[in-house]
Structure 1
Amino acid sequence: MNSNMKTAFLYAGQGSQHKGMGEDLYRDFDEFKNVFDKTDLPFDLKKMCFEDPEEKLSKTKYTQPCMVAFAAGITAILNKNGVKPDYLAGLSLGEYSALQASGVWDAETAIKLAAFRGNAMTKAAEGVEAGMSAVMGLSRDELQKCVDEAQSEGVVSICNDNCPGQIVIGGEKKAVDKAAELAKENGAKRCMPLNVSGPFHTKFMSPAGEELKEYFKDIKFNDEQIPVVFNVTGSERSSEETVPELLEKQVQSGVKMTQTIEYLLDNGVRRFVEIGPGKALTGFVKRTAKEKQVEDIECITLETSESIKDYLEKIRSRRT
């Protein structure tokens, strides 16, 4: 590992959760265990993550606090070992974990915020026959034309610009299906329907944005101690912007992940540490770096006890 290489921690979003996540970390690391043991939720966090007995982990209102607790546990392990990045970012829900890692909130507050957000998004999705689809092989401008044309069938918009050649559209199912059909006609390599419970990052989530706006009034927001690159803008926060405003917009606006990764690359980041579960963000980084012809990148994924022990050992050997 090159000790002079700038590092970014990237926090995974909803969709990569799975039964058993964190069980080995809870067993092997006191810092992780402490986060889980101190978390007070209306359900058993350990049982939900480790066993998922009623198969509820994939439901938004459970997924979100579980994912943020998992991420906060890993952040606590890294902090204990003196491992800090130069930049932080996260995909959608992962942005809450990035802000927690930056010191904006403690772990307990971040997890409670995620639980509130998950509930608000679940309520906002009620009564909408929603669809989301990942479109491969079209540029954003090309796909936008298909989306505009499909508006005749209902509401559809670009909701995740993940990386060059992979963009997610979402909204009302009829309109999403029409946009996907048009995308294929216009050269898309593939359109993959996603199994989601709501039209996330579309205007249907504006009631969730309003709920968050009210909820944030009673939450203390500290200044970021490490720069965070935000989903809504694909850059750091300007002096005119506030974290609550950006998060209120985030839940109902498209996620600019491509622009986020480009910003990090342009600012000299070459080591990307994905804090999982999953490896989706690593794939996005590699695709974006390839498109920008940046070759000297290093990608690391931290999800298991073994991967974290290996990473910490490499850092220790680099420091000696």
Structure 2
Amino acid sequence: MTTAVIFNGQGAHYQGMGMDFIEHYPQAKKVITCASQVSGEDIKALLNEDFSKLSQTRYAQIATVATSMAIFRSIESQLPAINYMAGLSLGEYSALMASGMLSMEDGFQLLKERGNLMSNHCEQLKKDENIVMEAVLKAPLEDIQQLVNQVNQDERHLYIANLNSSTQTVIGGKQSAVDQFKKLGKEKGIKKTIPLAVEGPFHTPFMEAVCQPFRLVLDQVDFNDAEVPVISNTDVKVHQIDQVRDTLTRHLIEPVRWKNTIDYFVAHGVDKIIQIGPGKTLGNLLKREKKAPDYVVVDSVDDIQGLESFLEG
């Protein structure tokens, strides 16, 4: 059995996420305490009564990763030998922490700084530009790329941000550019796009202003040799300690290649995937792939029994 563990990204959060683990597992409580101390925020409160704050990246990032890590630490002893880890977008930081490449304290400090930088920049962008992100469904990537190129003939205002699956690609750009894409897309048979409720145009060059200050933050963080290889969804390679800072900086402005990450797992013989953390987004993406390993989602304490059956099967 070759096993990969994957972690959800920002946007998968929901009110009360992880609370059952916090109530039942001391390992989960320890993670939440650490995240609260490092961030200066009451993470448990963010998961419940202050949940509305998670519409802001500065709160959503650390709360989502804290939840994923709380679940991971709670069930770690029940997991088989893990061959690979990865995480979609923000989830990559959960993978780096779970793999031991980032300590818990350094990881949460990094997320605090990253979240603040990204939120501040997004607030400035909203004053200057009307930039949106939309998921394009059931359209070939080649067609989407052609349309993006067509929209950008005069000036680059539209980018591919996420290659989530063979049936879902996310684009981000100025509202006028997205509207033009949708108009041209209808002529090409692209019928469905879904606006995304995100704070900013993540994983596009619109985030360029965040790169240099974030790199300065990364330079202050110690990275360790990973206990489990972590696949970057920026270049779909195993993170290397001498290149991780460069890769995480590029991660801000380059597309998330999640479909390629799953293809990497398949090519390397992964036959079981365990999604850990809030929501079922990554599991739902896997469900729609013709060639994908079997998977299970661990989002609640009730899911643990299903995990045991999945591993036995």
TM-score by length of 2: 0.92
Inter-CA distance 140–31: structure 2 relative to 1 (3 Å threshold): same
Which position in structure 2 is the counterpart of 1:176? 178
- Between the aligned partners of 1:9 and 1:286, the Cα distance in structure 2 is 16
Deviation at 1:120, TM superposition (A): 1.1
Deviation at 1:313, TM superposition (A): 7.1
Does 2:62 match 1:65?
yes
- Between the aligned partners of 1:82 and 1:277, the Cα distance in structure 2 is 18
- Between the aligned partners of 2:162 and 2:246, the Cα distance in structure 1 is 19
- Between the aligned partners of 2:213 and 2:108, the Cα distance in structure 1 is 17
Instruction: Read off the aligned partner of 2:92 and give its amino acid letter.
Output: E
Q: Deviations over 1:70-101 (max 9, x none)?
A: 11112212334454421100000000000111
Match 1:214 to one of 211, 216, 237: 216
Instruction: Read off the aligned partner of 1:52 and give its amino acid letter.
Output: D
Instruction: Read off the aligned partner of 1:206 and give its amino acid letter.
Output: E
Contact 1:14 1:67 in 2 (8 A): yes
Which position in structure 1 is the counterpart of 2:71? 74
Does 2:212 match 1:224?
no
Which position in structure 1 is the counterpart of 2:30? 34
- Between the aligned partners of 1:29 and 1:98, the Cα distance in structure 2 is 20
Unaligned runs of at least 5 residues, structure 2: none
Secondary structure at the counterpart of residue 271 of structure 2: strand
Deviation at 1:258, TM superposition (A): 0.6
Which position in structure 1 is the counterpart of 2:105? 108
Q: Aligned residues: percent identity? A: 34
Contact 2:32 2:66 in 1 (8 A): yes
Contact 2:101 2:226 in 1 (8 A): yes
Inter-CA distance 238–63: structure 2 relative to 1 (3 Å threshold): closer
Inter-CA distance 238–217: structure 2 relative to 1 (3 Å threshold): closer
Contact 1:153 1:178 in 2 (8 A): no
Contact 2:55 2:199 in 1 (8 A): no
Contact 1:135 1:183 in 2 (8 A): no
- Between the aligned partners of 2:187 and 2:155, the Cα distance in structure 1 is 17
Which position in structure 2 is the counterpart of 1:91? 88
- Between the aligned partners of 2:310 and 2:144, the Cα distance in structure 1 is 42
Match 2:42 to one of 41, 44, 49: 44
Match 2:301 to one of 305, 308, 313: 305
Which position in structure 2 is the counterpart of 1:166? 168
Task: Tell me the C-alpha RMSD between the 2 structures.
Answer: 2.0
Instruction: Read off the aligned partner of 1:171 and give its amino acid letter.
Output: G
Match 2:3 to one of 4, 7, 17: 7
Deviation at 1:144, TM superposition (A): 0.8
- Between the aligned partners of 2:137 and 2:191, the Cα distance in structure 1 is 5
Which position in structure 2 is the counterpart of 1:244? 245
Inter-CA distance 82–145: structure 2 relative to 1 (3 Å threshold): closer
Q: Deviations over 1:1-57 (max 9, x none)?
A: xxxx2111110000111111111111011100111123212321101112226x112
Contact 2:8 2:87 in 1 (8 A): yes
Deviation at 1:69, TM superposition (A): 0.7
